[in-house]
Amino acid sequence: MTTNTEWDPSQPILEITNLSISFFTRLREIPAVMDFSCTVMAGEAMGLVGESGCGKSTVALAVMRDLGKNGRIVAGSIKFKGRDLTHMGEEELRKIRGSEIAMIYQEPMASLNPAMTVGAQLAEVPMIHEGMSKSDAWKLARQIVADVRLPDPDRIVDAYPHQLSGGQQQRIVIAMALMSKPALLILDEPTTALDVTVEAGIVDLVKELGKKYGTSMLFISHNLGLVLDVCNRLCVMYSGEAVETGNVGEVFDKMRHPYTQALFRSIPLPTADKNSRPLVAIPGNFPLPHERPNGCNFGPRCDYFEAGRCDAGEVRMGDTGGDRHASRCVKFAEIDWDAPLVAVKKQEKTPVGDVVLKMEDLRKYYEVSGSSLFGGGAQKVVKANETLSFEAREGETLAIVGESGCGKSTFAKVLMGLETATSGKIFLYNQDIQDTPIEKRAVDTVSSVQMVFQNPFDTLNPSMTVGRQVIRALEIFGEGADDAARHARMLELLDLVKLPREFADRMPRQLSGGQKQRVGIARAFAGDAKIVVADEPVSALDVSVQAAVTDLLMEIQRKNRTTLLFISHDLSIVRYLSDRVMVMYLGHVVELGTTDQVFSPPYHPYTEALLSAVPIADTKVIKKRIVLDGDIPSAMNPPPGCPFQTRCRWKSQVPDGLCEREVPPVRHLATGHQIKCHLSDAVLAEMEPVITMKET
């Protein structure tokens, strides 16, 4: 370990001053980060927040001095414990990497070597930096694995990464970062690839370890709720620049930059619905690095834009007078920050009509053969959906919530006809369709049940123009008498999803993520769909775009009286837009009710945990912390009895191990509110709300 004796703990651990980073391509120099400054003190957690492409990961990699061949630091300095990293040689850097600065990555599976055991990858760190012997290093690895609260460390160190679950892999990556007790930990979206309940566990662990080892952190995330949870200080980035920095409380409550404000207004909170706090999308698009405007980068999208001042010249960071709180806005002193939101036209709740879709006792089982390559092995049954029963009415939004592997996508596939049901019934307008695969369905059945997919980047044909793809859908659905009529209808559909008509001739690659998703929506509504299954339609999009796409979906729903089945893992957005919520766990519907019923006690224990795991970007909210142990059991080998019993914190309240023996029956608590739980009415009545507002 190289410890610099001159470094004084009252000085910043990391001090970045006026850092500018550019990527050099054959065509031009692309500035990725401009004039970025921030300071991280010992034991402090600094959050870097911004949308994709804003340069937050570039800053992290610059601290590691790992910008690749094309990236270069063109100005400024990065001082770590008083030493300038920008002028260090490879050998010096190597001594710092992994021992004094360690990094935790977004995708744990990809960042672990698939061909090395976990123990070997962990033990390597102290062997390199401290010259530890192999056996000592493995002993330390085992101890750290236990430290990150993984069960059975002896087995884990001998395992290969693919034998662990996503959450366990991320814990290993964290363990690897902690092997040499670094002074600075860089976390690059450490939980984005994980489920919310797993995320809550990881975040807890990171916070606790930060305290235990006194590690400073640079926490990169696009999730404001997480940053509020983990960090002391915050730096908001927009298009390569830091636009606002300060301590977390101040930035959240007394923001002094229009972008920060717009960002907060565009994210849904699980404490509010669409009527009490409407989302406000940020107009326009994120500027490309070589198309940045003059002056303030946020200018063209800003409500407070003033020509002649905001676009006059470079805007510098200005001190707002708070606790090291600065904003890159020329007008921050003049704007009335407490002005209430301009009243957006309040939307009446769409009246709910007749039942259009009804599922009765739907089951979907898959048979999988044992091991893949060498055949053999016993046949196993994956119970993807178990006794699914519900109704959906015209004009209603039914949200289906659950973590990965809960069977929500399988359910969508069965409904769409991509798979046929194992048993049970699906009625669409009293016509049962559970056994009809999509290729045998009538054209109007197909066109009336459509889907909006999660990833707009993969679902459009890259070699067909946008207009052509929509017309193709119209042709398949038999809409329009001739080509001219279909063309006209296609333009109408583009209007419907608020895309300019010129987009008809564009290729998908010329569109941004949000625009692509709009095309996906246009395609889904091409045949006047009655039921639209939206499978995580906004989770791949940036927050500022999410609001706009969500609003669009709801507006079309109001106009067409469509039934929207909204599949999501994001409870905030579910709370915001849905009328009823269905919570799924391991193929079972554990709770079903109106949004208010599901979001307030009594809860199903899983719903309670799910709610508590959602990070909320609101300082006024007090949340009960319920962290679930372990991972979701495999659907191939579900626990006996109640599917949730392995992780349930209420299990002890049910006498004589009933939870382990029997699948709980469906109980109706109030009109339209049902849960699948053994807990007695008295216990359920005592449940406290997970989310409460602070008294003001």
* Binding region for another protein (CB under 8 A): 64, 66, 69, 94-99, 102-103, 105, 107, 110-116, 124-125, 128-129, 160, 162, 173, 176, 370-377
Residue 183 beta carbon to another protein: minimum distance, rounded to whole angstroms: 14
Residue 168 or 245 with smaller CB distance to another protein: 168
- Burial string for 434-458 (b: 16+ CB within 10 Å, else e) reads bebeeeebeeebbbbbbbbbbbbee
Our CA angle for 352, 355, 359, nearest 5°, is 130
Taking the complex as a whole, the smallest distance from the CB of residue 141 to another protein amounts, in Å, to 13
Q: In 244-371, which residue ranges form alpha helices assigned H by DSSP? A: 248-253, 258-266
User: Least distance in Å: CB of 17 to another protein?
Assistant: 23
Phi, psi of 309 (to 5 degrees): -105, -50
Q: Check residue 35 and report its DSSP letter.
A: E
Closer Cβ to another protein, 276 or 372, answer by number: 372
Question: Least Å distance between CB 126 and another protein?
Answer: 10
The type of residue at 51 is E
| Minimum CB–partner distance for residue 631 and another protein (Å) | 19
Place of tokens 């279909």: 486
Task: Please state the closest distance from residue 57 (CB atom) to another protein, in A.
Answer: 12
Minimum distance, C-beta of residue 64 to another protein, in the bound complex (Å): 5
Task: For the chain, give the longest Cα–Cα distance.
Answer: 82
CB of residue 118 vs another protein: minimum separation in angstroms? 11
Question: At 391, is the secondary structure helix, strand, or coil?
Answer: strand
Q: Return the number of the residue (180 or 578) whose C-beta is nearest another protein.
A: 180
- Of 129 and 523, nearer to another protein (C-beta) is 129
| Residue nearer to another protein on the CB measure, 168 or 409 | 168
CA distances from 682 to 90, 181, 654, 679, 687 (A): 65, 48, 11, 8, 9
Identify the helix (H) or strand (E) that includes residue 95: helix 90-96
Question: Do the beta carbons of residue 538 and residue 505 sit within 8 Å?
Answer: no
Nearer to another protein, 180 or 557 (CB): 180
Amino acid at 166: G
If the CB atoms of residues 64 and 614 are measured against another protein, the closer one turns out to be: 64
Other beta carbons within 10 Å of 538 = 25
User: Torsion over CA of 101, 105, 110 and 114, rounded to 10 degrees?
Assistant: 40
CA angle, residues 346, 350, 353, in degrees to nearest 5: 170
Residues present in the chain in total: 696
CB nearer to another protein: pick between 374 and 656: 374
**Phi then psi for 505, rounded to 5 degrees?**
-95, 5
Distances (CA, A) of 115 to 106, 111, 159, 174: 20, 12, 10, 19
How far is 696 from 15, CA to CA, in rounded Å? 37
Rounded Cα distance, 111 and 300, in Å? 38
Alpha helix (H) residue ranges in 352-425 = 408-416
CB of 402 to another protein, least distance (A): 27
With respect to another protein, which residue has the nearer C-beta, 110 or 693?
Answer: 110
Q: Which is nearer to another protein, 63 or 356 (CB)?
A: 63
CB of 125 or CB of 281, closer to another protein = 125
Cβ at position 107, least distance to another protein in Å = 7
Whether the Cβ atoms of residue 690 and residue 603 lie closer than 8 Å to each other: yes
- Shortest spacing between CB 103 and another protein, in angstroms: 5
